[in-house]
């Protein structure tokens, strides 16, 4: 009796899955569209400070130069972090994802060893090297607040 009951409960749960997923998917899509429509902060809005980029230069030299080189062009393995190869790759992505990728996967030889602050600093430096303007507010170390800040190409 008990077994029969729980088997059918399980069955019911499973049959609802596609519907739940669909609803969730719809929610995400609508949510995303609304956010993009409302907020359009981009890398051109001065999202880091010069001082922060200076600290980031130190982080870069200690942690990244070895593979991405002083001019950020990268070696044959490490991706360029500057110019067209970089801006094309990240165009349309948000800063939160960029920070997360660095925090989780870099430095490639010892990933996830940088603090969130160090990631924010090194990102400020990379932004500066790509000639996105500095502003008067530091890039916050809390990645999640940068979900709506987009990389865009100049008009």
Binding positions for ligand HEC, rule: CB under 6 A? 63-64, 66-68, 77-79, 81, 89, 101-102, 106-109, 114, 122
Residue number with CB closer to ligand HEC (10 or 104): 104
Separation between Cα atoms, residue 20 and residue 18, nearest integer Å: 5
Output the smallest distance, CB 55 to ligand HEC, in A: 13
Output the smallest distance, CB 45 to ligand HEC, in A: 21
Separation between Cα atoms, residue 96 and residue 132, nearest integer Å: 16
Output the smallest distance, CB 73 to ligand HEC, in A: 12
Structure tokens, 4: 């029969």
Output the smallest distance, CB 84 to ligand HEC, in A: 14
Among 119, 8, 106, 102, which residue's Cα sits nearest to residue 59? 119
Residue number with CB closer to ligand HEC (4 or 110): 110
Residue number with CB closer to ligand HEC (121 or 138): 121
**Beta bridge partners of residue 94, listed in sequence order:** 150
- With residue 9 as reference, give the H or E element that holds it: helix 2-38
């Amino acid at each position: 009796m008990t077994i029969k009951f729980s088997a059918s409960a399980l069955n019911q749960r499973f049959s609802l899955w596609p519907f739940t997923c669909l609803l969730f998917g719809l929610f995400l899509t609508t949510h995303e569209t609304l956010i993009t429509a409302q907020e359009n902060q981009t890398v051109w809005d001065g999202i880091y400070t010069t001082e922060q980029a200076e600290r980031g230069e130190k982080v870069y030299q200690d942690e990244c130069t070895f593979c991405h080189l002083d001019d950020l062009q990268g070696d044959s393995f490490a991706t360029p972090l500057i110019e067209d190869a970089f801006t094309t790759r990240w165009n349309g992505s948000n800063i939160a994802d960029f920070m997360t990728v660095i925090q989780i996967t870099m430095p490639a030889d010892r990933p996830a060893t940088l603090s969130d602050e160090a990631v924010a600093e090194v990102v400020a430096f990379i932004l500066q090297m790509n000639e996105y303007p500095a502003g008067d507010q530091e890039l916050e170390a809390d990645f999640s607040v940068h979900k709506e800040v987009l990389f865009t190409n100049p008009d």
